[in-house]
Structure 1
Amino acid sequence: MDFLFFVLNFVLTLTLPVHCGKILVFPHEGSHWINMNVLIEELHARGHHITVLRALDSWYIAEESPHYVSITLPVLLGGDDEFYHTFISKQLQIRRQGHSAWTRFKLDMSLKDKFSEMHQKICELVIYIIEKDPALIDRLEKTGYDVMLTDPANGGGVVLAHYLHLPLVLNVRWTVHGEAHFGMAPSPLSYVPFPLSQLTDRMTFIQRTYNLLFYTVRLYLYKRIVGPHYRALCARYFHPHLDYFELFQAADIWLMRVDFVFEFPRPTMPNIIYVGGFQCKPAKRLPADLEDFVQTSGDHGVIVMSLGTLVGQLPLDIAEEIAAAFAELPQKVILRYTGERPSALANNTLLVKWFPQNDLLGHPKTRLFVSHGGTNGIFEAIYHGVPIVGLPLVFDQDDNLSKMRSRGVAKVVDIATIDRRSFKEALHEVLRDPSYRRRMQKLSQLHRDTPLKPLESAIFWTEFVMRHKGAAHLRTEAYKMPWYSYYSVDVVGFLMCVVLLTVFVVFNIIRCLCCRCVKRKKKQD
């Protein structure tokens, strides 16, 4: 009987249709690639054939991989470890000047030119693919890809997908216009805080005013930075009057790298699939050297510190203060750091150039995570229930940690003005107050308690788009409406005109009747 059952299963496996699709990937560099690569590995494991487009100077996206075939384009995008070290140092110098509106403005301006240059180079990359290499674009068109998978933090993949007429799946938290929800879902500013504002969903009147002004200014800046580049690109290949952001809004599925354990409740859309933490997994056994070091911590446990993919070092004075604070703790510390060794470093701190962060956070002896506040690290901390001391540097990190602080699972320290005393106090507070760990473990339970694991959900919906050649039934067409139609300003205006016209007609009728009555009375008199 068992043999017959085995044979039946084997025959069914051979006869049932299996769709192995072809996926074209236009990724984004840095930590964004870490997320994308997790999806690529899983899609490859399901039997799909994946092609990744990469620049010549790509510093995270490997040219050779067992999971995908790469096409290396002879275009330089710029950016490497040294560039980001210099950039972070400049950001810290500006932040040390205070927290005034002028400091915020200078930070924005320092980012503005770099982002504009990046998007210009992305557009040049797309132009090269379409115009400069006829054999390449011919190959892309004839391969018969089922879907384009891209990160809309740059618009290259979005534009190329529309040029090739491919269904579009976005691996997304940020678009070229900022946080993705604000580009395609209703976002009432009365209770939906604009990212980077560090507000919560419970705002006072003053905070709601700030939220509105902050949103208006930031959206204006985003459009000024990226608009000229993508408008010119879309005019070149589509229609001169096309709103380039409509190409983003026309995407079939948005794989959103957050969930509502992290994000505040807000309106959403049916084609937004929440896959926050899809890169997280149960901890594996540590390498022998790390395991030996962790075991020497005894009951005090271990503190894990990393400043993310892009930052391996800090200005030496800041590194010295951090090392000095660690030296006064009974815990063992594992610190990912590639810069000059601080002189204050003590024997309880192990300096490494890389470590398996997910596995360390999942180790039972890990007590605390010192993090810059990137979403990858935050979700790994949530998944494993480890509280956070945050040292935000740039981009969305302040806001990410602000969300964690509002949930009572993180303590945030200003790294620009950090000293050993303030840092040590923050570490002691989180280590000694059990509420931080208790709340984080509750978030971990909520995050894990889902009918489908985030990675499985991401893969299902990517394959759904491949099977059905898109997901237009889940996508609203509201983005094609002008703003006055979207907010029903034209309808309200029309109804007001009808009311005013009705009042005017009724008033004149009554006026005429009154005049006739008066005339009759005069005649009778």
Structure 2
Amino acid sequence: MRWCFSFALTLAFMHMAVGQEKSDGDRAVGGMLVYPTDGSHWMSLRALSLAVSRRGYRVVVALPATGNWMVGETPGLDSETFPVPFVDQDNVFDTFLREVVFKETDGVTEFTFRSFESIYKKCAVMCDSLLGNVAVMQRLRTYNFEVLLADPIDPCGAILADALGLPSIFLLRGIPCNIDLKAAHCPAPSSYVPQSMSGFTDQMSFTERVTNMFMGLKQDHLCIDFILKRFDELARRHLGRDVTTMELLSNASIWLHRTDFVSDYPRPTMPNMVNVGGLTSGEAKPLPQDLEEFVQSSGEHGVVVVSFGSLVSAIPHRIANVIAEGLGRIPQKVIWRYEGPTVEKLSNNTKVMPWLPQRDLLAHAKTRVFVTHGGSLGIFEAICYGVPMLGLPLFGDQFENMARMQNKGAALVLNIHSLDAGSLALSISTIATHKSSYKEKSSLLSRLHHDQPQKPMDRAVFWVEFVMRHGAEHLRVAAHHLTWYQEAGFDVAAFLLAAIVLVTSVLTALITICCRWLCRAKHSNATVGKEMAASKKHK
């Protein structure tokens, strides 16, 4: 009897163990699907995807079969490749840099929202290739994913999530025209929330507030025409119903914003919006020996790190020579990421590298200034280690990113197209020598950024797992179920206005009736009085 009981107990524990193994296996089979976006956006998506993968989940990237992307096979991540109608030489971003960012007319950069049209057109074609590929879509369904991760600056992720019936998590810095705020039904008063690419701070003058308001109205039209409209057509065709991209974006479970109120301006947020700015700013490593020796040779002056991000390794030769000449006039040693043609005015104090360990350099005690284009990843690395910046923004949100840093006292900003060697050298020297201003402000931002109960990456991973476990419907405001006029309160305002008009009309009518009655009574009394007086006189 005792033997039977022991045997039964052993079987029970074995069953529990098998059940646990099955549970873990099911988790790995489900996992997360990632729809990638190129450039620095992919760097953030990849970092979060790897962090989720390290938690034991299977992470699969829907990988386009084109050779000119940063997106590619990544150890630790699986992939499902789908064909796209592009040739490797057809690099839209290089064309964008050459024909838009570095093209000038009378010294003014020709950059508008229309400049993004070619990039979004390619994104739409790629999206169509994936959604229309029956075999790939069927394979994606067999994974039984639990969640989809994407950067909504490419709206295809929202369409793919709906097509596969998956909850979506969006990791983003922002979308042109504040589309993310509109999709999340997040209030964004134009009186203190600057429109994207406006360059305004949260302390706007009356004229700037007026401009900000009208800029928002204009951007709504441009975004609908140049971003959302082409994806609306894709969504209707592949989902088989009348739906808009904005509606699909609004279905997001969680919005992971790559920002922090240390670097951004305070503004309203929603319960399903989480700040994870700095999630790629991991631990710094020691520099390679040759680079460490170069840095140490700078003495008390220190070093200046120059980088224009992961995509802009080469800049026009004229601008590169101006930068090289300016860098040659400062006492600091310089480490510059540059892959363009040979620069004639390069000085002995400058070390040019095709790639550099940016995070490790910014963490070094001898780094004095970071010359940057103003990408959000680089800015957060500089904030993480308290390094003041000199901004030379090129396009997109880089202008407003650097405007915020300048407003917070941690940076200076120059126009790269009107740049001269003297102003570059003077600006670097100003930042490096006025430590009581720029360095102290940068150090303050760094302390504020680090003083939080949870690291940004840990927070991002937590919310991915939270959505896998529970979803996040309880964090979505009821505004998602209201019409635009109900959300704005126009129906209530119309009712109150009608009520006021009605009450006013009734009161006016009553007062009129009373006045007329009083007038008639007075007239009647006067007539009676006259008749009585006439009668007495007659008698």
User: Fold-level match, TM-score > 0.5?
Assistant: yes
Deviation of residue 290 (structure 1)? 1.4
- 1:4-28 CA-to-partner distances (Å, cap 9, x unmatched) read xxxxxxx99x979755451011010
Q: Where do 1:315-464 residues align within 5 Å? A: 315-434=316-435, 435-464=437-466
Name 1:5's counterpart in structure 2: none
Deviation of residue 511 (structure 1)? 2.3
Asked if 1 retains the 8 angstrom alpha-carbon contact of 2:111 and 2:395, the reply is no
Provide the secondary structure at the position in 2 that maps to 1:299. Answer: helix
Deviation of residue 96 (structure 1)? 5.5
Q: Does 1:87 align with 2:96?
A: yes
- 1:286-307 CA-to-partner distances (Å, cap 9, x unmatched) read 1222122212212211111101
Deviation of residue 239 (structure 1)? 6.2
5+ residue gaps in structure 1? Answer: 1-10
Aligned length: 504
Q: CA RMSD in A?
A: 2.3
Name 2:80's counterpart in structure 1: 71
Name 2:139's counterpart in structure 1: 139
Residue identity opposite 2:112 in structure 1 = D
Residue identity opposite 1:53 in structure 2 = A
Name 1:171's counterpart in structure 2: 171
Deviation of residue 95 (structure 1)? 4.5
Provide the secondary structure at the position in 2 that maps to 1:277. Answer: coil
- 1:53-74 CA-to-partner distances (Å, cap 9, x unmatched) read 0111153455433211111111
- 1:71-113 CA-to-partner distances (Å, cap 9, x unmatched) read 11111467879654443233355446245xxx6xx42165143
- 1:369-401 CA-to-partner distances (Å, cap 9, x unmatched) read 110000000000000111101111111111110
Distance of aligned partners of 1:476 and 1:58 in 2 relative to their CA distance in 1, 3 Å threshold: farther
Provide the secondary structure at the position in 1 that maps to 2:221. Answer: helix
Asked if 2 retains the 8 angstrom alpha-carbon contact of 1:27 and 1:36, the reply is yes
Asked if 1 retains the 8 angstrom alpha-carbon contact of 2:152 and 2:249, the reply is yes
Provide the secondary structure at the position in 2 that maps to 1:181. Answer: helix
Residue identity opposite 1:124 in structure 2 = D
Name 1:269's counterpart in structure 2: 270
Distance of aligned partners of 1:157 and 1:95 in 2 relative to their CA distance in 1, 3 Å threshold: same
Distance of aligned partners of 1:349 and 1:458 in 2 relative to their CA distance in 1, 3 Å threshold: same
Residue identity opposite 2:55 in structure 1 = R
Asked if 2 retains the 8 angstrom alpha-carbon contact of 1:81 and 1:310, the reply is no
Asked if 2 retains the 8 angstrom alpha-carbon contact of 1:55 and 1:76, the reply is no
Q: TM-score, normalised by structure 1?
A: 0.90
Name 2:536's counterpart in structure 1: none
- 1:222-277 CA-to-partner distances (Å, cap 9, x unmatched) read 11102321221222244654232011111001111001001101000111111000
Further displaced range: 477-486 or 162-171: 477-486
5+ residue gaps in structure 2? Answer: 1-15, 528-539
Residue identity opposite 1:152 in structure 2 = P
Name 2:533's counterpart in structure 1: none
Name 1:207's counterpart in structure 2: 208
Q: Where do 1:478-497 residues align within 5 Å? A: 478-497=479-498
Asked if 2 retains the 8 angstrom alpha-carbon contact of 1:24 and 1:145, the reply is yes
- 1:490-518 CA-to-partner distances (Å, cap 9, x unmatched) read 11111111111112122223323333444
Separation in structure 2 between the aligned mates of residue 239 and residue 497 of structure 1, nearest angstrom: 41
Name 2:60's counterpart in structure 1: 51
Q: Does 1:160 align with 2:148?
A: no
Distance of aligned partners of 1:79 and 1:373 in 2 relative to their CA distance in 1, 3 Å threshold: farther
Deviation of residue 182 (structure 1)? 4.7
Provide the secondary structure at the position in 1 that maps to 2:111. Answer: helix
Provide the secondary structure at the position in 2 that maps to 1:311. Answer: coil
Separation in structure 2 between the aligned mates of residue 57 and residue 475 of structure 1, nearest angstrom: 37
Residue identity opposite 2:420 in structure 1 = D
Further displaced range: 287-296 or 348-357: 287-296
Name 1:292's counterpart in structure 2: 293
Distance of aligned partners of 1:291 and 1:254 in 2 relative to their CA distance in 1, 3 Å threshold: same
Residue identity opposite 2:194 in structure 1 = P
Distance of aligned partners of 1:345 and 1:61 in 2 relative to their CA distance in 1, 3 Å threshold: closer
Further displaced range: 440-449 or 38-47: 38-47
Distance of aligned partners of 1:92 and 1:273 in 2 relative to their CA distance in 1, 3 Å threshold: closer
Residue identity opposite 1:50 in structure 2 = V
Separation in structure 1 between the aligned mates of residue 89 and residue 149 of structure 2, nearest angstrom: 24
Separation in structure 2 between the aligned mates of residue 80 and residue 373 of structure 1, nearest angstrom: 27
Deviation of residue 176 (structure 1)? 6.2
Asked if 2 retains the 8 angstrom alpha-carbon contact of 1:84 and 1:311, the reply is no
Provide the secondary structure at the position in 2 that maps to 1:284. Answer: coil
Identity over the aligned pairs, expressed in percent?
Answer: 37
Separation in structure 2 between the aligned mates of residue 428 and residue 32 of structure 1, nearest angstrom: 32
Name 1:259's counterpart in structure 2: 260
Residue identity opposite 2:451 in structure 1 = D
Name 2:195's counterpart in structure 1: 194
Separation in structure 1 between the aligned mates of residue 388 and residue 336 of structure 2, nearest angstrom: 16
